[in-house]
Structure 1
Amino acid sequence: MDTNDILGPVATLVLWSMIMWVWMYATRIPAMSRAKIDAAKMVGGTGKSLDEVLPPEVQWKAHNYNHLMEQPTVFYAVALALAIGGMGGGLNAQLAWAYVGLRILHSLIQATVNRVMWRFGIFALASLALIALCLHAFIGFVLH
């Protein structure tokens, strides 16, 4: 068992986050142009302020990108800790792949149809995988 197996899901979610970043700007910049928003004249503000002027389906990508900067930070921390601690293989690697697959599915749902209950169900399943990883790290590092 390779204890670095868990780094595959880490690299995959990092790459997926960058794909969502590209998708966000590939849709947002043309939408801003259509809305006659001159970014060169904008001062301050946040992406959230664009919620009022851009179509929701454009902003869904931005909202998802922001979500990928939230809970996955816990995933990165626990996955790296498990890898460093020699516990990144086996079940922990499988849980990490499940987490990443579910987060990618969550992104695809949010960026396209954005059905909230579908998103929530996928998010809840991903969260359970993350909780299991956190418990395994706690058991391995604290209760060993």
Structure 2
Amino acid sequence: MDTNAILGPVATLALWSMVMWVWMYATRIPAMSRAKVDAINLVGTTGRSLDELLPPQVQWKAHNYNHLMEQPTLFYAVAIALAVGGMGGGLNAQLAWAYVALRIVHSLVQVTVNRVLWRFGIFVFASLFLLALCIHAFMGFVLN
């Protein structure tokens, strides 16, 4: 069994995060220009302040990018721990792929239609896969 198989989903989610980063700026910079936002002279502001200035569909990409910097950090940590501990293959790799696939679907929903109930359902389902990975890591590292 390839105990490093779980690193495939890690690399995929990292790359997806960068795809969302590019998509965010590809839509945000032109929107800022249209809104006459003077980015050169902005001081001490956050991306959240742009919620009032830019169309929601533009900001959805930024919000999703921020979401990809939140819970997935736990995924990265547990997946890498499982790989290092020799437990990154088999079921754990499958759970990791399911988590990543659902996070990508979550992104696509958020940046297109942004239906909150759909996003929430996908988020909960993905979180259950992440919870299973966390439990497997706990069982492998603490209970063994």
TM-score band (shorter)? over 0.9
Aligned: 1:23 with 2:7: no
Aligned: 1:118 with 2:118: yes
Report Cα offsets for 1:5-24 as digits up to 9, x if no partner: 00000000000000000000
Find the counterpart in structure 2 of residue 51 from structure 1. 51
Report Cα offsets for 1:35-55 as digits up to 9, x if no partner: 001100111100000001100
In structure 1, how many angstroms separate the alpha carbons of the residues matched to 2:45 and 2:63? 16
Find the counterpart in structure 1 of residue 77 from structure 2. 77
**Number of residue pairs the alignment of both structures matches:** 144
**One-letter code aligned to 1:61:** K
Find the counterpart in structure 1 of residue 138 from structure 2. 138
In structure 2, how many angstroms separate the alpha carbons of the residues matched to 1:78 and 1:67? 18
Give the gaps of 5 or more residues in structure 2: none
**One-letter code aligned to 1:46:** T
Find the counterpart in structure 1 of residue 35 from structure 2. 35
How much has 1:108 moved relative to structure 2?
Answer: 0.2
How much has 1:84 moved relative to structure 2?
Answer: 0.1
Structure 1-normalised TM-score?
1.00
Percent identity between the two aligned chains: 82
Runs of 4+ deviating beyond 2 Å: none
In structure 2, how many angstroms separate the alpha carbons of the residues matched to 1:105 and 1:132? 19
